[in-house]
């Protein structure tokens, strides 16, 4: 189960305007997100696998507006499923749907919207290194 830590040092509006009646702090907020990403392969048949991947971010965010407050919680959860061949060639690839669940209780930590769309992955493993794009 992979974990990914992201630290953003410039979060918030870049133009000093007002946000909900409060003046904005131009890009002064910071955010740390720990993404928990369980990835589970399932055998569909002798030729195809399905790889399920869920991304659950835990976010700690400092104020991004004057008078704002720090917040901590779960961000929007994204689930994806990739159909991939059992015997890949030089490249491992997969394609399938992705679904975003508006799972946060704090509007500052997520979009608050559902989405469904296509997703794909291509990667290559060479020795101890993995190169790819999602």
Between the alpha carbon of residue 78 and those of residues 4, 32, 45, 62, 71, the distances in Å are 14, 18, 26, 23, 20
Q: For 108, which DSSP code? A: G
Spatial contact of 102 and 112, defined as CB atoms under 8 Å apart: yes
pLDDT at 25 exceeding the cut of 80: no
Predicted pLDDT of residue 54: 95
pLDDT at 79 exceeding the cut of 70: yes
Instruction: State in Å, rounded, how far the first CA of the chain is from the last one.
Output: 17
CA pair distance 31, 72, nearest whole angstrom: 10
Predicted pLDDT of residue 10: 72
Spatial contact of 90 and 123, defined as CB atoms under 8 Å apart: no
pLDDT tier, 86 (very low <50, low <70, confident <90, very high otherwise): very high
pLDDT tier, 19 (very low <50, low <70, confident <90, very high otherwise): low
Rounded to an integer, the average pLDDT of 39-65 is 91
């Amino acid at each position: 189960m992979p974990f990914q830590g992201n630290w953003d040092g410039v979060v918030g509006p870049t133009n000093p305007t007002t946000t909900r009646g409060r003046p904005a702090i131009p890009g002064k907020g910071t955010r740390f997100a720990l993404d928990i990403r369980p990835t589970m392969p399932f055998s569909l048949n002798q030729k195809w696998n399905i790889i399920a991947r869920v991304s659950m971010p835990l976010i700690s965010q400092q104020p991004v507006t004057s008078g704002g407050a720090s917040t901590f919680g779960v961000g929007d959860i994204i689930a994806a499923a990739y159909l991939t061949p059992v015997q890949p060639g030089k490249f491992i690839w997969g394609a399938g749907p992705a679904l975003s669940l508006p799972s946060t209780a704090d509007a500052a930590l997520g979009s608050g919207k559902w989405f469904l769309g296509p997703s794909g992955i291509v990667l290559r493993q060479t020795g101890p290194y993995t190169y790819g794009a999602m």
